[in-house]
A and B are shown apart, each in its own frame.
Chain A
């Protein structure tokens, strides 16, 4: 008889030594005469506990240990890890750990639990139930269900997904496309990556639902080249889905066609902006397009195109399976459903927390995150990536809600929260925001292309402190020009990190150095 263990193949787990831990486990088990049945799963989302090892005990329960480093394995196996024996690193059942028990996992329900590229495992965990239901409805009914769910674009723009789809559905065209924006370039975000590595079939199913709903027969996943682990998982998932008839010319025996292809990016942050992503898919320089026309009307190769973020698309299977009303019952105000939140940076318990909208920053940073990793006070958090505002401690009681964040001059974005302790210098972070904008500007709009470089110089002068009052005024003017004079969010939103740092942390700009 063999002992079943689960260990993650997620990039973050591998980055902390999961492969080496597995090798050590195999060697130790062989030496003890035990046969291992290894399942490589996604990550449970508790990154500080990786490499996490789960062992199936005599009652069939998955008992977790972590973090298990390769060098600890011989002693752990000797102490009875493979029999689920007590040990200082024994955590018990993952579902009972407060970090997991307090979450509301809808989109991430399977991640860390199933073998990401096993159709049978996927089917045993509600897989393709949403697609089967979608195939029994008309396109208009599917779009209505998505509209009813209240789902808004999880990439950050928060545009209602159902309305976008309705526009594509209403177009007459010989060809329509579904494009998945998997160019997750925001620092502090990794939910797309975790989903694609931990449950890629969920994305495949979501995109197929979108294709069936609007009448598109070809899908593309535009994936950033920094994500080779996700690429491997997606390619495997697409191959098995195709082999089992869930993709291709006759989806689930419905007679409908949906083909899917992964396209790799080439290291351009701007491709997270949907029109530049489409340019890139067409093989061009990824310069932002003017709108109108909207991509829903003239998108990829000039055809009507649904373009959505990974998490938006991966939320569709559960919405279609359980109904729009089920999903809409989570959340607050106009922010419905759940958001996979990523706790990052200087945080003790970093990882993925899926919660209904309405959870506060303070709950996330302290109840889940356990405070800073350094043990010092958390001074600021940046929410929503490099274009998100820096938020001071006085605003940590704000609930996560698109409108509440907008009201305080911040954004929820893609749900990444980067914590900084009291050693952080916000003038330097403001400078970095301008530097990043200069590095990543596509060059189309002058305020972004040139303004960002002038912004770096201005903040350098402010830090030096020669003519500070005048330079601070000019910085505010420059940010306003970039905000109103740029086509897309890169130039248009760089004012968020810069001016929030100025507003909430003025001392950092006024200090003598």
Chain B
């Protein structure tokens, strides 16, 4: 086992212990694993299954069902661009195309410098001020292609 795998196991054990006795704990555990490791490494699936007395297939089935769970590492920041109807009504297609071009990736991809992972979102609940974009937990409204450039630049400075 590599160092990093060992650290992942330790983190998962700690998270499993903190949810002991909680009814229906699988989603909270997976969310916490992803929050602390950035993704859900395939190597920890067995450990989670064992800890909850489930089969690996059960755990894998849940991870693969939900769009939010990731099985691969992502960039330092996740950029979500809303594609839903209310944003389409205010030309989010232009923002989406610009995001793909600016980051040089399609949805699901990570920019070459490892700063941003681009994802599609289906409603961020900001439907009166679209197009909407979320970077990590920070929401932005009326994101035209020009505003997107400014937003991305400010996050590049951050990191």
A contact set with B: CB distance below 8 Å: 11-12, 14-16, 47-48, 50, 184-190, 193, 225-229, 263-269, 280-286, 301, 342-347, 350-351, 373, 382, 386, 416, 418-421, 424, 429, 432, 436, 439-440, 442
Contacts of B126 in A (CB 8 A): 11-12, 15, 190
Q: A-B pairs with CB below 8 Å: how many?
A: 147
CB distance from B134 to the nearest CB of A (A): 7
Q: Are B129 and A50 in contact (CB under 8 A)?
A: yes
Find the residue from B31, B138, B139 having the highest chain A CB count within 10 A.
B139
Q: Are A281 and B24 in contact (CB under 8 A)?
A: yes
Contacts of A282 in B (CB 8 A): 24
CB distance from B60 to the nearest CB of A (A): 10
Contacts of A186 in B (CB 8 A): 123
Q: Are A14 and B85 in contact (CB under 8 A)?
A: no
Nearest-CB residue, chain A, relative to B25: A283
Q: Are A226 and B125 in contact (CB under 8 A)?
A: yes
Contacts of B66 in A (CB 8 A): 265-268, 286
Say yes or no: is B28 at the interface (Cβ < 8 Å to chain A).
yes
Q: Are A266 and B27 in contact (CB under 8 A)?
A: yes
A347 and B123 in contact, given A263-B28, A268-B65, A429-B88 (Cβ under 8 angstroms): no
Q: Are A15 and B127 in contact (CB under 8 A)?
A: no
CB distance from A232 to the nearest CB of B (A): 9
Contacts of A283 in B (CB 8 A): 24-27, 52, 62
Contacts of A189 in B (CB 8 A): 123, 125, 127
Partner of B121, one of A48, A226, A345: A226
Say yes or no: is B140 at the interface (Cβ < 8 Å to chain A).
yes
A345 and B85 in contact, given A229-B139, A269-B122 (Cβ under 8 angstroms): yes
Q: Are A185 and B122 in contact (CB under 8 A)?
A: yes
Q: Are B28 and A266 in contact (CB under 8 A)?
A: no
Contacts of B67 in A (CB 8 A): 266-268
B contact set with A: CB distance below 8 Å: 23-28, 30-31, 52, 58, 61-62, 65-69, 80, 84-90, 121-130, 132, 134, 137-142
Contacts of A346 in B (CB 8 A): 89-90
CB distance from A390 to the nearest CB of B (A): 10
Partner of B24, one of A264, A301, A436: A301
Q: Are A342 and B28 in contact (CB under 8 A)?
A: no
Contacts of A419 in B (CB 8 A): 89
Nearest-CB residue, chain B, relative to A420: B89
CB distance from A182 to the nearest CB of B (A): 11
CB distance from B6 to the nearest CB of A (A): 26
Contacts of B24 in A (CB 8 A): 281-283, 301
Q: Are B122 and A436 in contact (CB under 8 A)?
A: yes
Partner of B128, one of A184, A227, A266, A342: A342
Q: Are B128 and A347 in contact (CB under 8 A)?
A: yes
Q: Are B27 and A418 in contact (CB under 8 A)?
A: no
Q: Are A47 and B123 in contact (CB under 8 A)?
A: no
Q: Are A418 and B86 in contact (CB under 8 A)?
A: yes
Nearest-CB residue, chain A, relative to B84: A187
Interchain CA distance A14-B90 in the complex, whole Å: 20
Partner of A350, one of B87, B125, B127, B140: B127
Nearest-CB residue, chain A, relative to B34: A266
CB distance from A355 to the nearest CB of B (A): 16
Interchain CA distance A211-B133 in the complex, whole Å: 37
Find the residue from B31, B121, B125, B130 having the highest chain A CB count within 10 A.
B125
Interchain CA distance A427-B51 in the complex, whole Å: 50
Partner of A429, one of B85, B87, B124: B85
Q: Are A382 and B85 in contact (CB under 8 A)?
A: yes
CB distance from A67 to the nearest CB of B (A): 10
Q: Are A187 and B128 in contact (CB under 8 A)?
A: no
User: Could you list 22 examples of A-B contacts with CB < 8 Å?
Assistant: A15-B139, A47-B128, A186-B123, A190-B127, A227-B125, A266-B66, A267-B67, A267-B69, A268-B67, A280-B27, A282-B24, A286-B66, A342-B127, A344-B89, A344-B127, A344-B128, A345-B130, A346-B90, A347-B128, A419-B89, A439-B122, A442-B65
CB distance from A421 to the nearest CB of B (A): 8
CB distance from B137 to the nearest CB of A (A): 4
Q: Are A286 and B65 in contact (CB under 8 A)?
A: yes
Interchain CA distance A351-B121 in the complex, whole Å: 21
Partner of B86, one of A50, A344, A424: A344
Q: Are B129 and A416 in contact (CB under 8 A)?
A: no
Interchain CA distance A322-B29 in the complex, whole Å: 42
CB distance from A233 to the nearest CB of B (A): 13
Nearest-CB residue, chain A, relative to B128: A350
Nearest-CB residue, chain B, relative to A282: B24
Contacts of A373 in B (CB 8 A): 90
CB distance from B69 to the nearest CB of A (A): 6
Interchain CA distance A510-B85 in the complex, whole Å: 22
- With A263-B28, A282-B24 given, name 5 new contacts (CB 8 A): A225-B68, A266-B66, A344-B130, A416-B127, A442-B65
CB distance from A489 to the nearest CB of B (A): 16
Interchain CA distance A284-B124 in the complex, whole Å: 24
CB distance from A36 to the nearest CB of B (A): 23
Q: Are A188 and B65 in contact (CB under 8 A)?
A: no
Interchain CA distance A407-B146 in the complex, whole Å: 44
Contacts of B140 in A (CB 8 A): 15
Interchain CA distance A499-B123 in the complex, whole Å: 23
Contacts of A345 in B (CB 8 A): 85-86, 89-90, 127, 130
Interchain CA distance A363-B142 in the complex, whole Å: 25
A264 and B28 in contact, given A187-B86, A286-B65 (Cβ under 8 angstroms): yes
Contacts of B58 in A (CB 8 A): 284
Nearest-CB residue, chain B, relative to A443: B65
CB distance from B78 to the nearest CB of A (A): 12
Interchain CA distance A420-B68 in the complex, whole Å: 29
Interchain CA distance A263-B23 in the complex, whole Å: 11
Contacts of A225 in B (CB 8 A): 31, 68
Q: Are B61 and A193 in contact (CB under 8 A)?
A: no
Interchain CA distance A15-B136 in the complex, whole Å: 13
